[in-house]
Amino acid sequence: MKYMGDYPTKKTQQGSEITDQIFEAPLKYEILKDEVYCQIMRQLTKNKNGYSEERGWELMWLATGIFAPSNQLLPHLQKFLSTRRNNILANDCFFRYQRPIRHGQRKYPPHVVEVEAIQNRTTQIFHKIYFPDDTSEAFEVESCTKAKDFCKSIANRLRLKSADGFSLFVKIGDKVISVPEGDFFFDFVRHLTDWIRRAKPTADGGISTLTYQVFFMKKLWAGTVPGRDPNADNMFHFYQEKQKYLRGYHKLTKEEAFQIAALLFRAKHGDDKTQVSNIPRMLKELAPLHCLRQASPDDWKKRIIFYYNKNPLRNREEAKLTFLKSIYKWPTFGSAFFEVRQTTDQSYPENLVIAINKHGVSLIDPKTKAILNTYPFTKISNWSSGNTYFHMTIGSLVRGNKLLCETAMGYKMDDLLTSYISLLLNAIRERSKRRL
């Protein structure tokens, strides 16, 4: 009644404050779902207050997007909506209530984006998605859209050959968190914003405003081979691998660094040789810092020009592909790198770089870039993480080697390791089915 304006309230309600109060309880207690539907239908019956009726249909639209009524009430809801389909929202609700039946109910009340959309009489919600090449596009997302379906929709629009290995990532504050493919998109964003809001309350005890961005990127590189999917190479693989390359995690020779610098120069400037004179000023965009120290800026310029002229590639796309093919040969291709500190194993340096990729978990010396050890996923028996650590057991739980690392990225390492091992187990199950 507060939401519909039938019950006076002194306090100005913001965002999803009232809708939270309405929908939190029925999401916890099954019996209250029918109560919510009955109350909304009652308020919409012979309601002569136009504003109140309009707000009532907004609540019905939100309700039909997050949970369905019981089988006993379902026929009554169907009849109620079918006799009012001349109302635009009622007509949308008539189709909308069936989606929670097919896809399952949500875990959390409507996100503020959903509430504000329907309050502005918009039943279509478009969400901006950012890509590694610094572009973005708006995609439609529904209340029942799960992350896996959202990824497929994006992949289809971008004409990628497959959405396999791709994931949605939510950047909020200083965290970037992968959306589990089985989660409803708005549920995950809602859960994440609520969690961070609780962790960082405002000084006056009010509700903090949290902005977030959603990225679509390659997460699992198990089946990635440069050249198989040109669109994925140009929009995703090149930019994600270039960023990691420039951070200096890979081991390479000085001559390899010159060759790759020439490829990155061509990938950015194509055949525009007028930019050659600017090479000394753009070296940080062409090579890792530890490689730049191995030669003077003039030497870098000479070697880059030499390899630029030696490999007359036809366009930027060919340069991107050649770059990817060059680093594909390295065991660290497609890795996610994490800088950590450890003191549990004296045979390793105190400061380590941990690389997680399709081969398993590699320990890298940050000074020499040498791979000290690689543990395949089949050798990792246990792992856990917290706000300040990541813990991993290699071998048996009782006698295995334990590695405890200090890092703020434990949640990312945990999620990535879980995802790769799930991928491995699914592949094993598929092979077993084919044999049967």
Give mean pLDDT, residues 278-293.
96
pLDDT at residue 19 greater than cutoff 60? yes
pLDDT at residue number 4: 63
Give mean pLDDT, residues 244-267.
97
Q: Within 10 Å of residue 264's Cβ, how many Cβ atoms?
A: 22
pLDDT at residue number 207: 52
Give mean pLDDT, residues 336-362.
96
Structure tokens at 279: 């090479």
3-state SS assignment for residue 234? helix
pLDDT at residue number 366: 97
Confidence of residue 12 (pLDDT cuts 50, 70, 90): very low
Structure tokens at 431: 């092979």
Give mean pLDDT, residues 231-245.
98
pLDDT at residue 49 greater than cutoff 70? yes
pLDDT at residue 70 greater than cutoff 80? yes
| Helical axes 238-246 vs 254-269, angle rounded to 10° | 140
Percent of the chain with pLDDT strictly greater than 70: 94
Cα distance from N-terminal residue to C-terminal residue, the chain: 59
Q: What is the pLDDT of residues 187-211, one digit of tens each?
A: 999 998 888 777 666 555 555 567 8
pLDDT at residue number 197: 75
DSSP string of 367-395, one letter each residue: TT--EEEEE-GGGEEEEEE-SSEEEEEES
Closest CA to 50 of 80, 87, 18: 87
Q: For tokens 């504050």, name the residue.
A: 173
pLDDT at residue 237 greater than cutoff 90? yes
Least confident of 38-42, 107-111, 200-204: 200-204
Q: What is the pLDDT of residues 376-429, one digit of tens each?
A: 999 999 999 999 999 999 988 777 899 999 999 999 999 999 999 999 988 888
Closest CA to 340 of 353, 327, 358: 353
State pTM to two decimals. 0.89
Confidence of residue 9 (pLDDT cuts 50, 70, 90): low
Give mean pLDDT, residues 138-147.
96
pLDDT at residue number 400: 81
Mean of the per-residue pLDDT values for the chain?
A: 92
Confidence of residue 16 (pLDDT cuts 50, 70, 90): confident
pLDDT at residue 218 greater than cutoff 90? yes
| Helical axes 17-28 vs 31-44, angle rounded to 10° | 140
Give mean pLDDT, residues 88-110.
93
Give mean pLDDT, residues 344-350.
93
* Residues in contact with 89: Cβ distance below 8 Å, sequence separation at least 6, in sequence order: 57, 58, 60, 61, 118, 123
C-beta separation of 80 from 50 below 8 A: no
